[in-house]
Chains A and B, each alone.
Chain A
Amino acid sequence: NAGVTQTPKFRVLKTGQSMTLLCAQDMNHEYMYWYRQDPGMGLRLIHYSVGEGTTAKGEVPDGYNVSRLKKQNFLLGLESAAPSQTSVYFCASRPKGYLNEKLFFGSGTQLSVL
């Protein structure tokens, strides 16, 4: 049981390049989330999904797109990377239901945009 797996773990991009971060969970969770973590800023929600085929914007969605074509996968895309998107990205998931608020996190993707 791997939990939440993020790939890649590290990536360096040049400004303007595109890339996709993959999050996969094997816990059959309905909800999935993408956060970014910057020094002194804590975690901020980028996008989230409440089920297969659905996505919604979080606190800082600009410059990112997401897709949830399969229940177990949640993809985060950067179409044209900017230095301001240098950050550590975390994916999280949780089961559906009011009493299931605990999030399960992946180990993160460290992204540098030069």
Chain B
Amino acid sequence: SQQGEEDPQALSIQEGENATMNCSYKTSINNLQWYRQNSGRGLVHLILIRSNEREKHSGRLRVTLDTSKKSSSLLITASRAADTASYFCATGVLKRAGSYQLTFGKGTKLSVIP
């Protein structure tokens, strides 16, 4: 079953604006990852945040994690046309020694208009 659920499903913004995508999940996790997928391509890892972390930054990306609300957000600041892509959250759970389960949400499709 799907663990993460992104919101909104689609987002359209003007270049230079900020884009915020949210991810909600249902059960306890060890970490949460965000991936990006350009049309027709594979997924590319953006950032990972662990369950004991609240916020993480990477360049123009800012990720927050609220384990009490079981939610995460991805903020892309000063968006560019090249940021147009689908963004997926993936929740990571350690099942037992050596077994790590990563479950993807359905994604948010971001369109940045030049």
Q: A108 touching B42 by the CB < 8 A rule?
A: yes
Known contacts A101-B100, A108-B42, then 18 further A-B pairs from the complex at CB < 8 Å, ordered by chain A residue: A4-B42, A31-B100, A43-B43, A43-B88, A45-B101, A45-B102, A50-B99, A59-B1, A59-B103, A90-B43, A96-B98, A98-B94, A101-B102, A103-B33, A103-B35, A105-B35, A105-B44, A107-B42
Consensus secondary structure, chain B interface: strand
CB proximity to A under 8 Å, residues B11-58: 31, 33, 35, 40-45, 48
Asked if A2 CB lies within 8 Å of chain B CBs, one says no
Interface residues of B (CB under 8 A from A): 1-2, 31, 33, 35, 40-45, 48, 88, 92, 94, 98-107
A residues engaging B (CB < 8 A)? 4, 31, 35, 40-45, 50, 59, 90, 92, 96, 98, 101-108
Q: Are B42 and A106 in contact (CB under 8 A)?
A: yes
Is the beta-carbon distance between B104 and A43 smaller than 8 angstroms?
A: yes
List the A residue with the shortest CB-CB distance to B107.
A42
Q: How far is the CB of A60 from chain B (nearest CB, A)?
A: 11
| A23 shortest CB reach to chain B, Å | 11
B41 touches A107 (CB 8 A): yes
